[in-house]
């Protein structure tokens, strides 16, 4: 039987979500008493309007639907290693959303990971994986984005948020594409719903350019879904290593339709990817010694990675909006930004009415308001 991928317009969000769930037979997938894990993408302290993280409105609607069926929805996720997960949750408003819809939250500790041997793994032979991936039914909730290392990040890539930090480092070191394909052989979600309401192009997956796409995609076959998502982005799926290596089905039943887009792809080349891979190799030694990840250490020097800075410009009206919106009080009275406190959430960048805050490393030097 051909795998089915559903593609729905999300222009009218609430009704679109309900229609999608009805079409895929959502209520028949889950029963009273089932524990159902929702795995979003909360990689960084940047919200869905930036195209960086999964829509809280989508998560809330799913949680309420599951509770109406008598199921027990649980959200689990860890942010990128250079970010503090609890801080990211606080910034995004995850706790408030979860409380409003009766959604349990599990931020995994070391005790929540179990060692799994990947019998079909080619590069990744074993991994420490969040136990909920095997103890409950799993709904994978990726955001549709480009990615400076993997080209795109779709359903299978989002599964990396279920492994511990050491496994994540090993995946980067051993070859990220093959390792993602390997991981997908043991983590097979009951359902994957891709949030493509606000996507990201350019130098994603955190600081690319937001793109309003107003689509939702869903399938019980994550390999088929990832192939269709590439078609939507205007990307040849064969050029994305982890999708090619996962051997997606050639014949797919597409329910619904879409207009293929032309996403701007990342600019970084082989040298950047080699440096990124080496950074994780260094971190295998660095983090146990200094109790801070090597990439986080580099970012906090203020000399590397994406970070904002305020132009010394006479046009500044001293409105203090940047200071008021900063969640960590990283902006001082002399308009300098403390890189050790800065979350790199870019709220200051968004708030400045005169555009005097620039961002080093940001792929879109204007404003991320691409409505195409």
Which token pair is 54? Answer: 């999964």
Listed by start position, the domains of the chain span 4-256, 301-372
Kindly state the DSSP code that residue 310 receives in the 8-state scheme. E
pLDDT value at 365 more than 60 = no
| SS3 assignment, position 307 | strand
What average pLDDT does the segment 139-159 reach?
97
pLDDT value at 342 more than 80 = yes
What average pLDDT does the segment 130-143 reach?
98
pLDDT of residue 368: 42
Q: How far is the C-alpha of 319 from the C-alpha of 296, rounded, in Å? A: 31
pLDDT value at 367 more than 50 = no
Instruction: Classify strands 253-256 and 104-106 as parallel, antiparallel or unpaired.
Output: unpaired
- CATH T-level assignment (fold) for domain 301-372: Alpha-Beta Plaits (3.30.70)
Write out pLDDT tens, residues 259-277: 999 999 998 778 888 888 9
The matching CATH number, chosen from 3.20.20.140, 3.40.640.10, 3.90.1150.10, 3.40.50.11440, for 4-256 is 3.40.50.11440
pLDDT of residue 157: 98
Which token pair is 206? Answer: 């955190």
Residue 315 has φ and ψ, to the nearest 5°, of: -75, -10
Query: Sorting pLDDT into bands at 50, 70 and 90, what band is 302?
Result: confident
256 Cα distance to chain centroid: 25
Instruction: Classify strands 126-130 and 113-117 as parallel, antiparallel or unpaired.
Output: antiparallel
Residue 328 has φ and ψ, to the nearest 5°, of: -125, 10
Write out pLDDT tens, residues 176-190: 999 999 999 999 999
């Amino acid at each position: 039987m051909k795998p089915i991928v559903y593609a729905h317009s999300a222009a009218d969000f609430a009704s679109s979500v309900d229609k999608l769930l009805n079409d895929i037979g959502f209520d028949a997938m889950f029963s009273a008493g089932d524990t159902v894990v929702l795995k979003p993408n909360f990689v960084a302290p940047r919200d869905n309007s930036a195209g960086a993280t999964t829509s809280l409105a989508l998560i809330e609607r799913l949680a309420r639907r599951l509770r109406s069926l008598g199921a027990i929805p649980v959200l689990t996720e860890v942010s990128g290693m250079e970010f503090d997960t609890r801080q990211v949750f606080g910034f995004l408003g995850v706790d408030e959303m979860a409380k409003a819809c009766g959604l349990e939250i599990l931020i995994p500790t070391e005790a929540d990971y179990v060692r799994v041997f990947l019998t079909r793994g080619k590069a990744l032979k074993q991994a420490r994986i969040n136990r909920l991936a095997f103890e409950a039914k799993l709904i994978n909730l990726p955001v549709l984005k480009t990615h400076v290392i993997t080209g795109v990040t779709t359903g299978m890539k989002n599964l990396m948020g279920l492994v511990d930090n050491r496994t994540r480092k090993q995946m980067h070191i051993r070859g990220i594409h093959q390792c993602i394909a390997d991981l997908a052989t043991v983590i097979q979600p009951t359902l994957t719903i891709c949030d493509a309401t606000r996507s990201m192009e350019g130098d994603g997956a955190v600081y690319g350019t937001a793109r309003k796409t107003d689509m939702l995609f869903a399938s019980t076959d994550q390999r088929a879904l990832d192939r269709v998502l590439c078609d939507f982005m205007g990307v040849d799926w064969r050029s994305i290593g982890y999708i090619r290596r996962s051997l997606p089905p050639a014949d797919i039943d597409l329910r619904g339709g879409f207009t293929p887009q032309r996403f701007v792809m990342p600019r970084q080349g082989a040298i950047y990817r080699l440096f990124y891979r080496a950074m994780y190799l260094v971190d295998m030694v660095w983090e146990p010694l200094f109790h801070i990840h090597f990439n986080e250490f580099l970012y906090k020097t203020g000399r590397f990675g994406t970070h904002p800075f305020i132009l010394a410009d006479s046009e500044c009206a001293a409105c203090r909006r940047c200071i008021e919106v900063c969640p960590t009080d990283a902006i001082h009275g002399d308009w300098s930004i403390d890189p050790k406190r800065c979350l790199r959430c870019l709220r200051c960048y968004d708030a400045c009415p005169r555009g005097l805050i620039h961002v080093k490393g940001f792929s879109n030097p204007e404003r991320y308001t691409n409505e195409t």
